[in-house]
Structures are given as C-alpha cells and as structure tokens.
Amino acid sequence: MTPMIKINHLLAPVIIGVALTITAPIQAAGLPAEVVHVKSAPLVHRIEAVGTLNANESIILRPEQSGAIEKVLFTEGSAVKAGDKLIVLESSLYKAQLQESKARVNLSRIDYQRADSLVKKRVGSQQDKDSSLAQLQVNQAQQAVAQTKLNKMTISAPFDGVIGLRKFSPGDYVNIGQDLVQLTDISIMKVDFKVPENQLPNIHIGQQVKVLVDALPGESFTGEVYAISPNIDARNHNIAIRAKIENRDQLLRAGLFARIQIITHIDDHAIMVPEEAIIPKNDQFFVMTVTDEKIDMVPVKLGIRRDGAVNILSGLSVDQVIVTAGQLKLFPGSPVTPVFVDGTQPPSAPAAEQPGA
C-alpha cells in the first residue's frame, strides 16, 4: 500500500465524523415559527349595547282653550322653572263670565240667607230654604267653572326645563290641542337600551353603566340602571333597560345615539392569547403548542374577544408556548424553530460536556 493510499484510509473516518457532525443539526432544525408564552391577565366582562338618549321629561305645550295669543313670556332656548307663566291668551270674555258668575253667587247667597232667616222665624218654608241653597251651590259651581276657564288662558311650565322653539307668533289664533312649544328637562338624561334575555341575571337596579356618544368623541358619561322592564320581547328575546345620567354640563341632548357598556364582573386571571393563534377547523378551534421544539394541535374552548386577543376557557395553561404565525406550514409532530416575539426567551439548554472533562 502506497503512503498516499494509507493516509486516505486513516483520514476517512475523521472526514465522515466531521460530515455527520455538520449535517446532523441541519437535518434536525425545523421551520421557524413565531411563538409566545401563554399569559394570564385581568379581563373585564361587560355587556355592550346601543341605545338612544331621552330627556328626563319632555312635553309639547298645547292650549286647553282657544283664543288669540296675547303675551309671550319666554325666550326660546331659555331655562324656566315650574310654575313660570309662558303664554297668555286673550281672555276678556272669560273675565266677564267670571264677574257675572260672582254676581249670581252673591245674589243667591242673599236669597239663601233670607230664606234661612224666615225659617228660623217660623214664617218661611223649609222648601224655599232648600231651593235657595241649591241655587247658591249651582251658582258657586258655575263660578268655579268660569275661574277654571280663565286660568286655562294662561299656560305655565309644569316642571323645570328648557323651552324650545315656538310654533306661533303673538296675535295668532290657536285652537284647543294645537302644538305651541316644547318644554324639555335635560338636567337628567334617560338612556334606553336592550340586552339579550340570557344577560338578565347580570343586570340589577343601581348598576353603573358607561355611556359613549358618537356626537361627542372623547367624552364618556357614567349612569345608573334604575328600571328594568318586567316583560321580555317575545320576537327577539331582548329585555328593555333604562338608565339615568346626570347631565351637569348640558352636553347631552335627547335623540342622540349612545353606546352602553355594563361591567358584570372581572376575571383576575384570564388566559388570553392573540387572535392569530386560533385555528378554526370543522366547527372546532385549535391552537398549535410547542413542546421540545415539536408541534402539537390542542383543541381549545373560546371565550370573549377583546382588543385583538381571545379568552381561552379550557385547553391551555399559563407558560405554554404557542404558535402565532406560520401555522400553514406546520403540522402535528413537525419540528420547529421557535422565534419568540413576546420578548421572552426559551429555557436555555444545558451546556454539553467537553471531552476529557
């Protein structure tokens, strides 16, 4: 055997060993995949609904007697107090009728007193006395009617509020029941909304609500549930709820669209994972987990979604490693090279022993 052949025979095992050492990690390395550790975090459970704002009280003032508008005692858009006189109708006819009825009352009272005196002197009949008393009472009733009609010629505010835009001018002749002006109390606003019937156990009187209004971006208002309908809507199985909101700055107006949030409870240790980790398949949901750099498919039960994350009710535990990207190229049992994207690192592998140590 020549020296060159002998050297080749001696180097062959070394070359093969080096080759195996170099290629072995390449064969074992899997596809890279973005992963994170499963973590727990507080989760606020809330009911979300949409509704409409309504004034605490709101009416359209209408006359109970017809007549011409004599006086307008308010400024449109101004605040008024309960009992403030707002509109006066021309009432000379009713004043005259009242004076006439008062005169009749006075005359019938004199007649009654005379009849009563005669009865006491035993020179008058009881029947005449009774008739005069009845006539007095009739005239008194007619006086009360005349006074009531006269009073109705003045329209007053029934409650504190803000007067709206009038639909008449001074001197206009208005009829009974004609719309004149709207009075609205917006010191407190009511918000009406509906929730599914299965949420009824989570709603109670006095519960706080958060109200957001699209017309007032950046603003939020706190209210309180004060009424729950005793009936369920049989068509859509919803229940009507009413809350009230203090409107101290008068920012809210009746008719505004509102978004309502009601906190029902807080889960301090909810398991949350990114939405992109969820894999839907055959009416089920799965998450890919990584154990010893191998892929496994784990079925999970989903809870609520919130801000790009999903609450996992069962199937995962804290500190498990899950895949958040690259799932299409992976399958159960396939090797993977984890790329941690949540700022954590995988547990460091124990250092290999050096030969001869």
- Residue 6: pLDDT band by 50, 70, 90 thresholds? very low
Residue 79 tokens read as 């605040």
Neighbours of 314 (CB within 10 A): 11
Q: Evaluate if residue 269 carries a pLDDT over 60.
A: yes
- Residue 235: pLDDT band by 50, 70, 90 thresholds? very high
Which fold would CATH assign to domain 30-44+268-340? 2.40.420
Where along the chain do the CATH 1.10.287 domains lie?
Answer: 91-152
Whether the Cβ atoms of residue 286 and residue 326 lie closer than 8 Å to each other: no
Q: Evaluate if residue 346 carries a pLDDT over 70.
A: no
Q: How far is C-alpha 145 from the chain's CA centre?
A: 48
Residue 263 tokens read as 């906190």
Mean pLDDT across 161-188: 96
Q: State residue 25's pLDDT score.
A: 46
Tell me the three state secondary structure of residue 216.
coil
CATH 3.40.140.10 holds for 66-88+153-179: no
Residue 292 tokens read as 């010893």
Neighbours of 14 (CB within 10 A): 9
91-152 CATH: 1.10.287
Neighbours of 143 (CB within 10 A): 20
Neighbours of 312 (CB within 10 A): 24
Whether the Cβ atoms of residue 261 and residue 210 lie closer than 8 Å to each other: yes
CATH 3.40.1670.10 holds for 48-56+187-266: no
> Between these two residues, 28 and 279, which has the higher pLDDT value?
279
Q: Evaluate if residue 185 carries a pLDDT over 90.
A: yes
- Residue 226: pLDDT band by 50, 70, 90 thresholds? very high
- pTM as predicted: 0.66
pLDDT digit string, tens, across residues 92-136: 999 999 999 999 999 999 999 999 898 888 888 889 889 999 999
pLDDT digit string, tens, across residues 301-315: 999 888 889 999 999
Q: Where are the beta strands (DSSP E) in the chain?
A: 31-37, 39-61, 67-72, 79-80, 85-89, 154-156, 161-163, 173-174, 181-196, 208-213, 220-233, 238-246, 257-274, 279-281, 284-291, 294-306, 309-314, 321-325, 336-340
Where along the chain do the CATH 2.40.420.20 domains lie?
Answer: 30-44+268-340
Where along the chain do the CATH 2.40.30.170 domains lie?
Answer: 48-56+187-266
Instruction: Please report, rounded to a whole number, the percentage of residues in the chain having pLDDT higher than 70.
Output: 88
Q: Evaluate if residue 52 carries a pLDDT over 50.
A: yes
pLDDT digit string, tens, across residues 142-171: 999 999 999 999 999 999 999 999 999 999
Mean pLDDT across 276-284: 91
Where along the chain do the CATH 2.40.50.100 domains lie?
Answer: 66-88+153-179
